[in-house]
Structure 1
């Protein structure tokens, strides 16, 4: 038997702010709020579904340095250029991590500096169900 990613946990200074941004980025909803943070995930699917939830866990530490793990996102209902503009309008910003300018993806950062990449390839909005 193998494991499956059920949730991603991001330590952050402002869980509500990041939860709001990432809900808009991914089309997720807030599933739970508590002292341990804010959990977001797909509406109607929640924890344990096919797609992992994200928990924004409060910390007093600032992000420093490059993360060893980052999130890649793909457009589902528009091309990459239109999705890039939408993400920038939501509060993401372009990030320089040493790209050459020839990449097929864009590196962005959320309001706390967590890098993520917007890939070019469009995916279906909903993952295929397992049979």
Structure 2
């Protein structure tokens, strides 16, 4: 018997604003409303099956420094450059976490400054 990771919780100031961003990035929708946040996931997905649910939990305490955990996303049906342009248009910004410039991934931040990486490999249509 083993556990499976079913949710990833991201503390944030404005769950509604981040939901717009992450739903557009991942092709997710809001699948649950809580008093202190939102749950995002694929349309019609059942909890624990398929991709992780992303929980956006409202907090008044801003994070400090680099996150010890971050998301990696991969382009789906396009190249990295095309996906980078799309993510930037959605509100992602470049982030410097000490990369050398030789990496195959691009480090970005969401509208609240949470780092994530855009990988190079196209994983096929979403």
TM superposition score normalised by structure 1: 0.92
Equivalent residue of 1:24, what SS? helix
CA contact (8 A) 1:31 1:46 kept: no
Count matched residues: 126
1:55 aligns to what SS in structure 2?
strand
SS of the residue corresponding to residue 9 of structure 2 reads: strand
Assess, with a 3 A threshold, how the Cα gap between structure 1 residues 31 and 45 changes in structure 2: closer, same or farther: same
Q: Distance in 2 between matches of 1:7 and 1:36?
A: 16
In structure 2, the residue matched to 1:53 is 53
Which 5+ residue runs of structure 2 have no aligned equivalent? none
* Equivalent runs, 1:46-125 vs 2, <5 Å: 46-125=46-125
Shift of 1:124: 3.3
Q: Determine the C-alpha separation between the residues in 2 that align with 1:69 and 1:125.
A: 26
Determine if contact 1:9/1:56 at 8 Å carries over to the other structure: yes
1:27 aligns with 2:27: yes
Contact 1:73 1:117 in 2 (8 A): yes
Q: Which runs of 4+ in 1 moved over 2 A?
A: none
TM-score of the superposition, structure 2-length normalised? 0.96
